[in-house]
Chains A and B, each alone.
Chain A
């Protein structure tokens, strides 16, 4: 570079910098700076002192990092995480100004997005686990000078339906779910989600509501009944699982959907006759002779003759001879609306009608209708919900408000898994879903009506709390036996699936009260329980107590024997020469000496479990609403469903629990584990988890682990099946922990156990705000940005001012700009 050119560059760079510092910065707008003029100097000022050429901290040298490219992208991603989370520069070093840090962070994201566009893309900042990377104080505190916010909106997008939404949608075609019963509000009813079955599997069942007899046991039943597993897949283990852009539909899924469609259409047309022989359909089960061992076969079932499935235009079309255009179109239009939740346009109706007609021409009516109609199941809008805002006019900020069907379906989707109810449909059709008040009216109406089931609200709490994976965590048999829980067959896993449904119900009860919802969830002493929960909510006895219990049982048995012998002797004396009657020989009750069981009693209630899918072994809905043993539990974080969901095969998972508290309650961010870290605790069966976790205290690990471990270890007051305990490895269990760097100095400090910690957190304003942030993410389907600060603050105030009402929070979120407006960035094809 010659001298003159160099001088120009310096001048230009200086000019840009001074211009930038004089202007307002609008987060989210493209940072038009380059490496040399901006990022390099940031690194030089704040990073290279420690991460220089010689002996760099953590072995990371940044002095020659250079502009973002595909080779150094992972390093830049780490720099982004550290700087954004304010981990770096270290607290004792000079800190960049707020705007400077934001710009640097946004610049890295912009560059990584540009560079990685054709190499898999850069999406880390969009992941819900990185939602907390946005500084909490900037969202809920006052903004420093130099930041100007743009009016918020969400991107135009298509949102893939989830596996559970899909199954629930398909279920509407072949099963009639019972109406809501206000007397038994916990029972599964129309509009509730199709739940997972006894094994935690999501399946669509055919005709189980008509089966009146079967041969064989529970497994035979489950194999005999017609069922199809969920076809759409999702793979996220913890956290929010349903951002619009997580999943597509691959061709394997599409092909399977067509196969399932075939089964569904036939069942819609013919009912159980599509899956059974005519003689199996009778109200006199004995008239059908099952010869030999046919367990597990479809012929081992008897169906009643009562028609219970919905009778739709598909049924009407198939029940009569021949085909008319009118019947065909009715079938197409009705099926289209059940699958996409909206009526087809004329073009769509014509196109599908044509497909069905062509299929009939080739295959005849019976097979042609089935093949032709199955194409509807693959319509884009049956698998993705569009929010494209194609029909509105952009406002002066380039935002378009959703309207009509898109807006109506967005509101519906916020609460429901099935198609809009009549009132909402009417409002959409009559042009009354176009304004913010329209949305408010419908949201408030639906929230006020318990008979309109709103499973998506419960879905949020599952995603937020992560209490629904206990049944999927494979336990080591010996380790499980040590907890005091039963290891017989699959009883533990069944108990965990039951526990998930129980926690669902408890949350519903708290939502029904709708007061201080988060605080209640965190501190309630109520428990929705099955009988098995007496063990899971029980207390693991100490070694001495177990010995005493065993001895007492032996003593009681010996005394019983003696008593019986004495009675026998007396009988013989009274009846000389006669043969004494057979003793009843009662088996001693199966006592679990390892556990002091809780006595969970209270009013009857019901949990939403799957319909019969496993014969007599199916999940049962009966529950009681009880009070947890005093001083041992506080809110759902201390319930086995949550505890086991945050455990592993052998033990508690204190790190995962701590991470949950850090992220979901304190709003902190944890960077990804560096790939160089061998994240393994030593295998030392004679040491406690706390002792084994000493390895995380090494400097390299402790930077992050200090934010998780001391928050997770207070839960050591429970073992890994969720039973309360006072000892661990026969010594008093250490349940201490500490809250640090919470962002709220009043919260920081040592805690004696989980109950103390939870109580502290439950009263925190910051924790409430973090909860609101998660609700925002769930209902907007994206991470918050600083521009969303007004929406978040409004939502939090709505919640707070209403005394902790979830309904108020939801109404605020669903009438916000972030929910209503879309910004459209179209591609070349348009």
Chain B
């Protein structure tokens, strides 16, 4: 059945250019909203694995408070935020066969591999539907080497809206900026925005004209196609009219967009755009793929000369290269949290209603069987999530259990996510949410 909500979800799957009837969230019509429940979620997926030794404080072998612990060097930037941090070790993703990467299976909780299409939707997409409605339900950004981001500015490896329906990540900040803020841009971006707008409007008119003579049975189906363009164009118009509001949040375009010295210039501005999409209320779900779910990637801007697959073959613990990458990730997480904290929401700030999930698309390391899948959660959403602690699990619950927890917190009545009973008998020791995560 075609309805507005489906339409918006459909849009999000591509670029996201769909904005609903009213701009700006104002914490819009909550689909599932309950007091204290999260209003937005961020997934940060670093590729090549997340070695638990790079996040668990030295000496901590069992669950406990982080209050007196010192965070390891790679994530020390999170020290001031550790009362909102929950480090979880001992989830598993054996059934996802990660090896080099579980690809869609990392957020889907199912078997994934290079070149294998998604076999079901992923958790970020499902949450984007369950969280309070925003204009663009889901935004995915991907960070990679500058060459890869230029030649493949959109790629889909991590998120999916259903079986065989990948959701694309955006990696060229100029294109993403044009999409989000074309209406308030100037210069080249403005020109491109206007040209593209003109073409899209004409496509809409032509599509609509060719739909007028269709038989009744086809009109609704074809209408969905035409409506898609109307939404894209309508979104642009509404964004244009809301430019005063957006201007407050839109990042300033500088040379890092047009003449990046390193790939990290683009990583930084992509994050800026992602943050602004959250703070301006454009979206409620942000997926960040650092390394874009593959086994390559580069961070030359951090002074790391090596790149690509070799990074994954290195031991991460006490490795200066991986310390730099993880520190960079942590600084990004801090930037995210500080930005969200700076925006009031209700009686607190946006960060009070946000959860950040940091993990890898590749469990704990390269060539892993997925027996351990470390995760960090940031944000307590008014006490819904337990924070300020480290939890050591026994390796008997899958990442799907964490995803089930997130769906339940978002108001969905589910006991499992992407795992039928047959599979669960083998891969999940319990049913329902991960109690250790809830406050």
Contacts and interface: CB of A to CB of B under 8 A. Distances in A.
Q: Answer whether A and B are interacting partners.
A: yes
Interface of A: 119-121, 155-158, 197-203, 216, 219-220, 222-223, 226, 229, 233-235, 245, 247-256, 259, 275, 292-299, 351, 355, 358-359, 362-363, 367-368, 371-372, 374-375, 378-381, 383-384, 388, 390, 472, 474, 476, 490, 493, 613-614, 648-650, 680, 683, 824-827, 829-830
Given A216-B309, A827-B219, A229 B156 contact: yes
Contact of B295 (A200, A203, A296, A363): A296
A332 to B, nearest CB: 13
Contacts of A251: 7, 10-11, 14, 17-18, 225, 227-229, 231-232
A252 B11 contact: yes
Contact of A245 (B117, B167, B211, B217): B217
A199 B308 CA distance: 21
A474 B111 contact: yes
Contact of A359 (B18, B156, B195, B218): B195
B195 A363 contact: yes
Interface size class of chain B, counting residues whose CB lies under 8 Å from the partner chain: 35 or more
B208 to A, nearest CB: 10
B308 A490 contact: no
B247 interface: no
A371 to B, nearest CB: 6
Given A220-B309, A251-B228, A254-B225, A235 B151 contact: no
26 contacts: A158-B218, A199-B114, A220-B296, A220-B309, A251-B228, A251-B231, A252-B11, A252-B12, A254-B14, A259-B153, A292-B307, A293-B306, A294-B307, A295-B296, A296-B296, A362-B191, A362-B198, A368-B195, A371-B195, A380-B206, A388-B213, A493-B113, A683-B425, A827-B214, A827-B216, A829-B212
A499 to B, nearest CB: 17
Contacts of B216: 825-827
Nearest to B164: A233
A226 B152 contact: yes
Interface string B293-313: 011100000000111111000
Contacts of B119: 472, 474
B13 A252 contact: yes
Given A219-B295, A249-B225, 9 more contacts: A219-B100, A235-B163, A235-B164, A247-B221, A296-B295, A296-B309, A371-B196, A829-B219, A830-B212
A296 B294 contact: yes
Contact of A375 (B164, B203, B231, B305): B203
A251 B308 CA distance: 34
B187 interface: no
Contacts of B199: 355, 358-359, 371-372, 374-375
Contacts of A829: 212-213, 219
Contacts of A476: 426
Contacts of B219: 827, 829
Contact of A157 (B215, B422, B425): B215
Nearest to A614: B115
Nearest to B309: A295
A281 to B, nearest CB: 14
Interface in B119-153: 119, 145, 147-148, 151-153
A252 B138 CA distance: 12
B422 A650 contact: yes
A829 to B, nearest CB: 5
Contact of B14 (A229, A245, A256, A294): A256
Contacts of A297: 145, 147-148, 296, 307-308
B408 interface: no
B266 interface: no
B194 interface: yes
B210 interface: yes
B195 A362 contact: yes
Contacts of B145: 297
Nearest to A126: B217
Contacts of B294: 223, 296
Nearest to A118: B1
Nearest to B96: A474
A253 B224 CA distance: 12
B243 interface: no
Nearest to B311: A293
B403 interface: no
B224 A825 contact: no
Nearest to B426: A476
The list of the 5 closest CB pairs from A to B, nearest first, reads: A251-B228, A199-B115, A252-B14, A296-B296, A252-B13
Nearest to B427: A476
Nearest to A262: B153
A199 B224 contact: no
Contacts of B225: 248-251, 254, 380, 383
Contacts of B206: 351, 379-380
B280 interface: no
B170 to A, nearest CB: 10
A642 to B, nearest CB: 21
Contact of B215 (A119, A680, A824): A824
Interface string B409-439: 0000000000001110110000000000000
B115 A293 contact: no
Contacts of B214: 158, 388, 826-827
A245 B221 contact: yes
Contacts of A683: 422, 425
Contact of B115 (A200, A295, A355, A388): A200
Contacts of B14: 250-256
A810 to B, nearest CB: 26
Contacts of A255: 11, 14-15, 17, 232
Nearest to B205: A351
A234 B164 contact: yes
B221 A380 contact: no
A250 B191 CA distance: 27
Nearest to A390: B213
Interface in B304-329: 305-310
B359 interface: no
B253 interface: no
Given A252-B12, A252-B15, A358 B218 contact: no
Interface in B1-39: 1, 7, 10-15, 17-18
B165 interface: yes
B116 interface: yes
A451 B156 CA distance: 36
B166 interface: yes
Contacts of B224: 248-250
Given A254-B228, A295-B308, A157 B423 contact: no
B421 A380 contact: no
A719 to B, nearest CB: 18
A220 B307 CA distance: 12
A292 B423 CA distance: 44
A388 B110 CA distance: 43
B330 interface: no
Nearest to A650: B422
Contacts of A830: 212-213
B198 A359 contact: yes
B421 A378 contact: no
Interface in B329-374: none
Nearest to B2: A248
B61 interface: no
A650 B161 CA distance: 27
B249 interface: no
B202 interface: yes
Given A251-B231, A297-B296, A355-B202, A259 B221 contact: no
A378 B203 contact: yes
B117 A201 contact: yes
Contact of A293 (B13, B211, B307): B307
B162 interface: yes
Contacts of A824: 215
A224 to B, nearest CB: 9
Given A297-B145, A299-B147, A259 B154 contact: yes
